[in-house]
Amino acid sequence: MKRFIFLATSCLVFLFSSFGQFRVGLKGGVNFSDIIVSNTGDLFTDESFGTRVSFHLGSYMSNSITDQLSWQLEVLFSNKGYSHRVNDQTFNVSLNYLNWPLLLLYQPTRTVEFEIGSEFGYLITGEDIVNSFDLGIDLGLKFNITKKINAGIRYCYGLPFKFQMDESDSNDYDPTYQNTVFQIYAGFNLINELTKK
């Protein structure tokens, strides 16, 4: 175990010292979250689910690979969920996730960056019918307003998972769901510096 920790630490030090632009910061913003349900038969209708407005906040670190490419790892607390309409009443379902987006950034100009990558999630609190593990694909666009301040938009398209339902509740159907989130965020670079190659 000690050898593994030493090797992992050495790799991180190498990554942070081998390339050019190193950034660490804080970010937060608004979530517009929804859920896509499939294979539900007559259990649910498309009109049963709607968008829910919530929030996310966390931190990020990134390092450049080339002058235009870099990678970024984030740790986010993200409140997702959806609104659910039953018998003319609307209920807001809150799903609290710890998310780890791992992104590849392409920066054609100093002020614009395109984001693409995967996002892993673990459900902290929420509904029992939702899987505790979540996975999605991220696409985004970020603007570097100043050396310290950035802002952007991002869409996370969740991969399908099965609802955790008893056979008696599912009526012999095999319903699945996908978390989808559109985010607007702002970030602040605590560290933004060039490292020696």
Nearest to 156 by CA among 114, 105, 101: 101
Contact between residue 47 and residue 13 where contact means Cβ atoms under 8 Å apart: no
Rounded distance, CA 84 to CA 37, Å? 12
Pairing between strand 21-38 and 52-64? antiparallel
Residues spanned by the domain of 81: 2-194
Mean pLDDT for 26-45 is 81
Give the pLDDT confidence score for residue 148 in this predicted structure: 95
94 pLDDT more than 90: yes
Query: What does the pLDDT look like over 118-154, one tens digit per residue?
Result: 999 999 998 888 899 999 999 999 999 999 999 999 9
Q: Count of domains in the chain?
A: 1
Query: What does the pLDDT look like over 31-40, one tens digit per residue?
Result: 999 988 876 6
Evaluate the CA torsion angle 169, 171, 176, 177 in order and state its sign. negative
Domain with 76 in it: what CATH number?
Answer: 2.40.160.20
Query: What does the pLDDT look like over 144-153, one tens digit per residue?
Result: 999 999 999 9
For the chain, percent of residues with pLDDT exceeding 70: 78
Q: Would residue 178 be called left, alpha or beta, if left means φ above 0 and alpha means ψ between -120 and 50 degrees?
A: beta
Predicted structure pTM score? 0.82
**E-only strand ranges, the chain:** 21-38, 49-50, 52-64, 69-86, 89-106, 112-125, 133-144, 149-158, 161-162, 176-194
The amino acid that residue 157 corresponds to is Y
The H-or-E segment that residue 13 falls in is helix 2-18
Give the pLDDT confidence score for residue 168 in this predicted structure: 45
Give the pLDDT confidence score for residue 176 in this predicted structure: 84
Give the pLDDT confidence score for residue 167 in this predicted structure: 54
The H-or-E segment that residue 159 falls in is none
- Secondary structure letter of residue 108 according to DSSP: S
